[in-house]
């Protein structure tokens, strides 16, 4: 189980029910002597929302609401322990899409002293601009296809309705081209709206808490974690199937098994940026 | 370090097995504890004393029945503060204080949780008749160091009598053994303080020389064993579901009903392997610390330690409830059951080996009689090698006579034990062992070392101011050279 640096968390909600998230999950009802204790493998599911942790067992579902947590740090600690416990026990868990990587990806492995470290906050502006580039990077081929197919479809429709002949073929060809461009623009705008809707909640959630983040990148892997709960003994190992994109302001790691991971360049010196570029190139493939 | 003060409370809890002395540690200092350690070869665990790695161990499998491989690394008393606390607790216990008054200071050094303290007979061997200092620093897989022991039912508590040294062999001093034989006693018992690690094994925190004295004198050695109780004790409810009903450890099961709400909260909130503040130092020390085997321990101690039971014997003695004569007769008749009840195990070979170890633990004479009966039964030939291996550990005329018969008979059924039999007869009583009392008397008397005179910095300043600096340096160098020569001698 990772995040051994964090102590077990005790939360008491407004009804007086005490929840303990540690190497086990326990619930103590007011007035009752004996607790309900579950090992992480006893859980049926775990859901972590923005300020709420919902734990389901075979006989009950416990929802630890925001009011039970004394501080943001306590919520983050409880979340990290619960998610790493569930991940180790292979219990299905889910969480809202977050700016920071899933805590279940971490394994117990020391981050060496020669890693590249930085601490700071994300710039929402940088993320938004990188998001556009990421979108183009992700959807570039699709947009080309949409453009070509849109153009061909327009030409076919024009041919069937007006018909090509020696005098109008040039105008119809230009019309087909602009139809393709229009299709691309339309699809791009739709994708932008979807992406903005998808990330708006994430960005506003981050902006709300404005957590300071500790970044560490080394040959073993990397860590992007809230500084309040950062552990130098836990790491996300490089996954050869992941890819990365380097934009002007951000290193972006993408993969099927996790949400997008952002590492802002502005927090690192030029020399450290070069080292990160080398490490990314060495361990992942560039998109 | 936590700015909250450590709180240690002692309670007596009555459970089905009797009265248990329990300590609850809240805001513990975690100066002594176990942490997970990331090695190049994979994750292992390190028992540390502040910034000193004392013992590392790794699991040789993922199961609760997997034995662990241990390596002694350093001394638990490397920090003078920790050493002082343990010494004071030991002195207090030696003076007759009850553990609830003597041990809280030691408990403050541990992490949060629930700890039971028991006074039990212990063996200063690592489960294989070898004195605990003999294999110091050498990685060794210790038998029955797993959470559960194969021969003992999971729902049964067992004691952990074997001891792993937490002091380096370089600290062995024969004069201290002689001294400990007279002074390290609580009443008439030679004793120490130990901390349970896993399975049948504990780490001896204090009392190494007393343990050596006990082995030499063939006296029992006892320890106040501190055992952390952190496992969740589960039983099947009416619907067949596993429900948590309390906490458990190797030797104790404590129902939630016997504990206060605050105690329960403390145990449930405590992490099993918290990361100590000194993690980086521990790791760097583990990379450079070399196993210290420079000082060899007298081989005589190993000879004396051979009288201690081994891990098989202890596990069998604790795992088998009873072994009556009709049961033994049934086993000799080739049956693993008596009155439709399994005697020890469904497996015949396991039953015979466990019966041998059980008898070896309780009565050597009964064991020899049973083993010779097994060896004389041609239908039990599958067990001959194991049983003969146990038999030859004893010097007894009946064994010698039997093995002479075996050699003379040239029976093909005994082929596997011919070499063992020949070796036993060749080495039968060839050497005289030194009587324990003579050995102890031969050890040098303890002479307290003179404390070195400390030159205060103030006086040094005055001497330098008075122009006596050169003389001071000359004195210092002369002392250094003298010390150096002394060490070489």
Q: What is A116-121+211-286's CATH number?
A: 2.30.29
Asked if the model's pLDDT at residue B42 lies above 80, the reply is no
- How far does the CA of residue A152 sit from the closest CA of chain B (Å)? 59
Query: For position A83, what pLDDT does the model report?
Result: 95
Confidence class for position B488, pLDDT limits 50, 70, 90 = very low
Query: From the CA of A273, how many Å to the nearest CA of chain B?
Result: 26
Distance to chain A for B250, nearest Cα, Å: 19
pLDDT, mean of residues B236-242? 84
Listed in sequence order, the residues at least 6 apart from B348 whose beta carbon sits closer than 8 Å to its beta carbon are B334, B336, B382, B383
CB nearest B268 (choices: A37, A42, A108): A37
Read off the DSSP letter of residue B374.
H
Between vectors from CA B423 to CA B409 and to CA B333, what angle results, nearest 5°?
50
Three-state SS across B127-171? CCCCECCCCCCCCEEECCCCCCCCCCCCCCCCCCCEEEECCCHHH
Q: What is the pLDDT of residues B101-136, one digit of tens each?
A: 999 999 999 999 999 999 999 999 988 888 999 888
Q: Where are the domains of chain A?
A: 9-96, 116-121+211-286, 124-208
Q: Do A39 and B232 touch (CB under 8 A)?
A: yes
Higher pLDDT, B182 or A196: B182
A9-96 and A116-121+211-286, same CATH topology: yes
- Contact between B161 and B123 under an 8 Å Cβ cutoff? The reply is yes
Helix (H) or strand (E) holding A285: strand A285-286
HEC string for B447-485: CCCCCCCCCCHHHHHHHHHCCCHHHHHHHHHHHHHHHHH
Strand order in the sheet with A61-64: A61-64, A53-57, A43-48, A93-95
Q: How far apart are CA B315 and CA B123, in angstroms?
A: 14
Q: Given this model, what pLDDT does residue B117 score?
A: 97
Q: Cα separation of B246 and A111, whole Å?
A: 37
Q: Are A4 and B35 an interchain contact pair (Cβ–Cβ within 8 Å)? A: yes
Residue B8: phi and psi, rounded to 5, are: -125, 125
Distance of CA A264 to the CA centre of its chain: 14
For A113, name the nearest residue in chain B, comparing CA atoms only: B280
Q: Is the pLDDT of residue B405 over 80?
A: yes
Taking only the tens place, the pLDDT of each residue in A120-147 is: 999 888 888 887 777 776 667 777 888 8
- In the numeric block, which tokens belong to residue B425? 């007869």
Would you call B269 and A8 a contact, using CB atoms and an 8 Å cutoff?
yes
Topology (CATH) of A9-96: PH-domain like (2.30.29)
Suggest the residue from A34, A74, A77, A221 to mutate for an interface test with chain B (most B CBs closer than 10 A).
Answer: A34
Q: Give me B175's structure tokens.
A: 């004069």
Which of chain A's residues have a Cβ under 8 Å away from the Cβ of B232? Answer: 24, 37, 39
pLDDT at residue A100 is higher than 80: yes
Per-residue model confidence as pLDDT tens digits over B360-394: 999 999 999 999 999 998 888 889 999 999 999 88
Reply yes or no on whether the pLDDT at B458 is more than 70.
Answer: no
Closest partner residue to B271 (CB to CB) among A4, A36, A39 is A4
Euclidean distance between CA atoms B484 and B482, whole angstroms: 5
Q: Which of A6, A35, A39 sits opposite B264 (nearest CB)?
A: A35
Provide mean pLDDT across the span B401-415.
89
CB atoms < 10 A from the CB of B17, how many?
11
Question: Tens digits of per-residue pLDDT, B126-177?
Answer: 888 889 998 888 899 999 999 999 889 998 999 999 999 999 888 899 999 9
> What pLDDT sits at residue B240?
82
Considering only CB atoms, A4 lies closest to which of B36, B256, B264, namely: B36
Smallest CA–CA distance, residue B270 to chain A, in Å, is 6
Query: B270 — contact with chain A (CB < 8 Å)?
Result: yes
pLDDT at B399: 93
Mean pLDDT, all residues of chain B: 88
In chain A, which among 2-61 make CB contacts under 8 A with chain B?
4-10, 18, 20, 22-24, 26, 28, 33-39, 42, 58-59
B485 pLDDT above the threshold of 50: no
A8:B268 CB<8 A: yes
Shortest CB distance from A22 goes to which of B38, B241, B269?
B269
CB A34 to CB B245 under 8 A?
yes
CA of B311 vs chain A CAs: smallest distance (Å): 31
Query: In chain B, positions 164-223, which contact chain A (CB-CB < 8 Å)?
Result: none
Residue identified by tokens 């041919």 is A159
In chain B, residues with a C-beta closer than 8 Å to the C-beta of A38 are 244
Judge whether residue B489 has pLDDT over 50.
no
Better-scored residue on pLDDT, A274 or B436: A274
| A-chain residue closest to B259, CA distance | A33
| Domain assignments of chain B as residue spans, ordered by start | 7-305, 321-426
- Contact (CB, 8 A) for A48 and A71: no
Of all residues in chain A, the one with the smallest CA distance to B232 is A37
Nearest CA in chain B to A38: B244
Determine the residue of chain A that is closest to B263 in CA distance.
Answer: A33
The confidence score (pLDDT) of residue A16 equals 92
Q: Which of A8, A33, A36 sits opposite B271 (nearest CB)?
A: A8
Helix (H/G/I), strand (E/B), else coil: B429? coil
Q: What is the rounded average pLDDT of the residues B302-319?
A: 92
Comparing CB atoms, the residue among A22, A58, A233 nearest residue B38 is A233
What distances in angstroms separate CA B19 from CA A184, A243, B99, B248, B257, one per listed residue? Answer: 80, 61, 14, 15, 15
pLDDT at B430 over 70: no
Contacts of residue A25, defined as CB under 8 A and 6 or more positions apart, other chains included, come to: A19, A37, A38, A39, A40, A43, A55, A82, A85
Read out DSSP for A186-235? Answer: HHHHHHHHHHHHHHHHHHHHHHHH---EEEEE-SSEEEEEETTT--TTEE
Count the Cβ atoms, other than its own, within 10 Å of residue A234: 28
pLDDT of A259 above 90? no
More confident residue, A287 or B101: B101
Chains A, B: CB contacts under 8 A, how many? Answer: 65
Mean pLDDT comparison of A146-160, A240-254, B106-120, highest-scoring range? B106-120
Which residues from B are below 8 Å from A10, CB to CB? Answer: 265, 269
Beta bridge partners of A93: A46
Kindly state whether A173 is in contact with chain B, defined as any CB-CB distance less than 8 angstroms: no
- The answer to which of A129-133, A276-280, B260-264, B455-459 has the lowest mean pLDDT is B455-459
Please say if the pLDDT value at position A53 is more than 60. Answer: yes
Is A4 in contact with B264 (Cβ distance < 8 A)?
no
Distance from C-alpha of B359 to C-alpha of B314, rounded to nearest angstrom: 11
Q: Which residues of B touch A25 (CB under 8 A)?
A: none
The yes/no answer to whether this complex scores an ipTM above 0.85 is no
Q: How far is B43 from chain A (nearest CA, A)?
A: 8
CA-based R_g, chain A, Å: 25
Give pTM, 2 decimals. 0.85
Burial class (CB in 10 A: 0-12, 13-18, 19+), B253: buried
The C-alpha atoms of residue B439 and residue B443 are separated, in whole angstroms, by 7
Is residue A79 within 8 A of residue A51, CB to CB? The reply is: no
């Amino acid at each position: 189980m990772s995040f051994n640096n964090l102590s077990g968390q005790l939360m008491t909600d407004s009804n007086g029910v005490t929840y303990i998230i540690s190497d086990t999950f326990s619930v103590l009802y007011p007035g009752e002597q004996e607790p309900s204790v579950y090992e992480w493998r006893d859980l049926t599911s775990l859901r972590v929302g923005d300020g709420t942790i919902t734990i389901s067992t075979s006989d009950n579902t416990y929802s630890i609401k925001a009011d039970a947590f004394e501080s943001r740090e306590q919520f983050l600690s409880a979340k990290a322990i619960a998610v790493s416990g569930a991940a180790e026990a292979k219990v299905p868990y889910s969480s809202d899409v977050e700016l920071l990587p899933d805590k279940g990806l971490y394994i117990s492995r020391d981050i060496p002293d020669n890693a590249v470290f930085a601490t700071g906050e994300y710039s929402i502006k940088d993320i938004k601009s990188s998001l556009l580039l990421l979108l183009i990077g992700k959807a570039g081929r699709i947009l080309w296809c949409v453009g070509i197919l849109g153009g061909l479809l327009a030409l076919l429709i024009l041919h069937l309705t007006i018909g090509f002949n020696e005098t109008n073929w040039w105008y119809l060809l230009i019309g087909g081209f602009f139809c393709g461009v229009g299709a691309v623009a339309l699809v791009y705008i739709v994708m932008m709206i979807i992406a903005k809707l998808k990330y708006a909640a994430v960005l506003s959630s981050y902006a709300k808490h404005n957590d300071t983040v500790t970044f560490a990148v080394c040959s073993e892997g990397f860590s992007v974690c809230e500084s309040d709960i950062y552990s130098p003994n836990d790491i996300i190992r490089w996954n050869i199937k992941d890819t990365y994109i380097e934009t002007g302001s951000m290193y972006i790691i993408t993969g099927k098994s996790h949400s997008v991971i952002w590492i802002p360049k502005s927090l690192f010196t030029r020399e450290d940026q070069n080292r990160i570029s080398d490490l990314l190139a060495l361990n992942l493939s560039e998109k | 370090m936590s700015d909250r003060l450590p709180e240690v409370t002692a309670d007596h809890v009555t459970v089905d097995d009797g009265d248990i002395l329990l300590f609850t540690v809240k805001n513990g200092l975690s100066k002594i504890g176990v942490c997970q350690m990331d090695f190049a070869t994979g994750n292992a665990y390190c028992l540390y004393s502040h910034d000193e790695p004392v013992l590392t161990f790794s699991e040789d499998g993922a199961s609760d029945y997997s034995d662990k491989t241990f390596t002694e690394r350093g001394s638990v008393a490397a920090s003078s503060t920790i050493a002082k606390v343990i010494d004071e607790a030991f002195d207090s216990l030696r003076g007759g204080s009850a553990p609830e008054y003597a041990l809280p200071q030691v408990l403050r050094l541990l992490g949060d949780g629930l700890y039971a303290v028991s006074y039990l007979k212990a063996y200063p061997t690592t489960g294989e008749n070898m004195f605990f200092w003999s294999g110091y620093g050498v990685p060794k897989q210790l038998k029955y160091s797993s959470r559960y022991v194969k021969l003992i039912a999971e729902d049964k508590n067992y004691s952990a009598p074997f001891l792993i040294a937490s002091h380096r062999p370089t600290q062995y001093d024969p004069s201290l053994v002689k001294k400990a034989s007279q002074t390290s006693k609580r009443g008439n018992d030679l004793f120490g303080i130990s901390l349970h690690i896993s399975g049948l094994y504990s780490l001896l925190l204090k009392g190494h020389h007393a343990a050596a004295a006990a082995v030499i004198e063939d006296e029992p050695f006892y320890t106040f064993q501190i055992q952390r109780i952190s496992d969740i004790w589960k039983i099947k409810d009416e619907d067949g579901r596993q429900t948590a009903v309390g906490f458990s450890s190797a030797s104790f099961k404590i129902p939630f009903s016997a504990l206060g709400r605050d105690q329960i909260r403390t145990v449930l909130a405590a992490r099993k392997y918290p990361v100590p503040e000194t993690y980086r130092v521990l790791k760097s020390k583990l990379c450079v610390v070399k196993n210290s085997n420079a000082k060899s321990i007298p081989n005589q101690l190993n000879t004396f330690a051979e009288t201690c039971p081994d891990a098989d014997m202890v596990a069998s003695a604790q795992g088998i409830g009873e072994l009556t004569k009709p049961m033994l007769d049934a086993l000799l008749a080739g049956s693993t059951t008596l009155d439709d009840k399994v005697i020890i195990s469904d497996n015949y070979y396991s039953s015979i080996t466990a019966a041998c170890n059980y008898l070896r633990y309780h009565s050597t004479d009964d064991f020899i009689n049973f083993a010779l009966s097994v060896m004389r039964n041609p239908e039990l030939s599958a067990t001959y090698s194991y049983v003969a291996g146990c038999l030859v550990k004893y010097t007894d005329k009946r064994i010698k006579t039997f093995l002479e018969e075996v050699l003379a008979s040239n029976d093909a059924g005994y082929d596997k034990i011919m070499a063992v039999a020949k070796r036993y007869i060749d080495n039968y009583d060839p050497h005289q062992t030194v009587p324990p009392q003579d050995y102890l008397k031969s050890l040098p008397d303890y002479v307290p070392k003179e404390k070195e005179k400390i030159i205060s910095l103030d006086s040094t300043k005055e001497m330098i101011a008075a122009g006596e600096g050169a003389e001071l340096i000359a004195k210092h160098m002369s002392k250094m050279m003298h010390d150096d020569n002394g060490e070489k001698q």
